[in-house]
């Protein structure tokens, strides 16, 4: 029996994540008190039903004081015959505030959004550190979050390692939590080509423009060589996820094309490589 525990900040997209796992065939449960999770798993194991072979449960601070049982419940689950993975979602304060204002909903901690955010950030910090997978949903479209969740499901358990290559725009701020950041603003910019300005780096037209320059190919070759040296060393240090940021001015053209190309090359050797684009498309969220 496999169980994915989804937790994290209010407003970070946990309910959307649960919907994705349900679409993937997981038995989905939302807002479960931590102490009830081992009890449910015992019942599911005894039932030996195919319905409960894969379970995803959101366990978060909406359960109030009952959330204090999280660690003891988590340790109890570890002692059972289960495959357990802990997924943590968060976003920055500005993003959380914008989402709650859009939805016109109060914060579940019965505090102001700012106070609720600060309280959760402090309370959940240790859980975030122990998570198997952490996703920053700041600026992520639902499409890109789904892509990251799919990568989480296909996480390379043999190597216990995943590689995230993310494009971003410096004008929206540097990529938080990146382990490595590469600045590609020195490359020729499609923004100044009338026919390419409104196309993103995932289109063939922009890709062809970015990739046609000798400096681009040389940059990619040298960067991939460096990454192939670094990755085994990060793995030796038991790092679970290596986040590589590729930044250009707006995060729409050059960084997108370069991230896709570097991700494609790395995936040939490291299957748990996935590519996301922080600033290429930003959707308003309808889920918390």
**Residue 285 CA neighbour count, 13 Å, CB half:** 29
Q: Look at residue 284 and tell me if it is in a domain.
A: no
* pLDDT above 70: residue 160: no
207 carries a ligand binding annotation: no
Nearest CA among 200, 163, 202, 168 for reference residue 184: 168
| Mean pLDDT of all residues in 9-33 | 93
Q: How confident is the model at residue 225 (pLDDT cuts 50, 70, 90)?
A: very high
Residue 8: predicted pLDDT: 96
Is 172 assigned to a binding site?
A: no
Same domain, 134 and 167: no
- Enter the pTM of the model: 0.64
Looking at the structure, tell me whether residues 14 and 125 fall in a common domain.
Answer: yes
Asked, for residue 155, whether it belongs to a domain, the answer is no
Whether residue 251 is contained in a domain is answered as yes
125 known member of a binding site: no
Q: What is the dihedral of CA 63, 64, 69, 71, to 10 degrees?
A: 90
* 64 carries a ligand binding annotation: no
69 is in an annotated binding site: no
278 is an annotated ligand-binding site residue: no
Q: What is the CATH number of the domain that holds 62?
A: 3.40.50.300
CA distance 196 to 217: 20
Residue 287's pLDDT is what?
A: 37
* Contact criterion met (CB below 8 Å) for 252 and 200: yes
Q: Taking residues 216-232, what's their average pLDDT?
A: 97
Q: Would you say 15 is a known binding-site residue? A: yes
| Angstrom distance (rounded) from CA 89 to CA 37 | 19
Is 9 labeled as ligand-binding? yes
Is position 60 annotated in a ligand binding site?
yes
Res. 184: pLDDT tops 90: yes
What does DSSP assign to residue 156?
B
| pLDDT at residue 188, as a whole number | 96
Residue 60's pLDDT band (cuts 50, 70, 90): very high
11 among annotated binding-site residues: yes
Tally of domains within the chain: 2
Residue 255 burial by Cβ neighbours in a 10 Å radius (0-12, 13-18, 19+): buried
């Amino acid at each position: 029996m496999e169980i994915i525990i989804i937790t994290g900040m209010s407003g970070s997209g946990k309910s959307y994540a649960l919907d994705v796992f349900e679409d993937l065939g997981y038995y989905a449960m939302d807002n479960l008190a931590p102490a009830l999770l081992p009890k449910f798993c015992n019942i599911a194991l005894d039932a030996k039903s195919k319905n409960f072979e894969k379970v995803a449960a959101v366990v978060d601070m909406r359960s109030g004081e009952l959330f204090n049982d999280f660690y003891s419940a988590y340790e109890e689950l570890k002692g059972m015959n289960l495959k357990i993975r802990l997924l943590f979602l968060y976003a920055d304060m500005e993003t959380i505030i914008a989402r709650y204002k859009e939805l016109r909903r109060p914060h579940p901690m019965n505090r102001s959004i700012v106070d609720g955010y600060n309280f959760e950030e402090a309370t959940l910090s240790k859980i975030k550190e122990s998570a198997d997978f952490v996703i920053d949903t700041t600026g992520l479209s639902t499409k890109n979050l789904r892509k990251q969740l799919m990568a989480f499901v296909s996480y390379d358990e043999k190597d216990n390692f995943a590689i995230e290559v993310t494009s971003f725009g410096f004008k929206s701020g540097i990529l938080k939590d990146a382990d490595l950041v590469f600045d590609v603003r020195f490359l020729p910019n499609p923004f100044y080509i009338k026919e390419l300005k409104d196309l993103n780096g995932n289109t063939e037209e922009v890709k062809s423009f970015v990739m046609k320059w000798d400096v681009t190919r040389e940059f990619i070759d040298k960067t991939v060589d460096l990454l192939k040296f670094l990755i085994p060393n990060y793995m030796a240090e038991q790092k679970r996820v290596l986040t590589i940021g590729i930044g250009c001015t707006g995060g729409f053209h050059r960084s997108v094309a370069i991230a896709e190309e570097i991700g494609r090359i790395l995936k040939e050797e490291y299957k748990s490589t996935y590519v996301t684009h922080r600033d290429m498309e930003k959707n308003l969220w309808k889920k918390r």
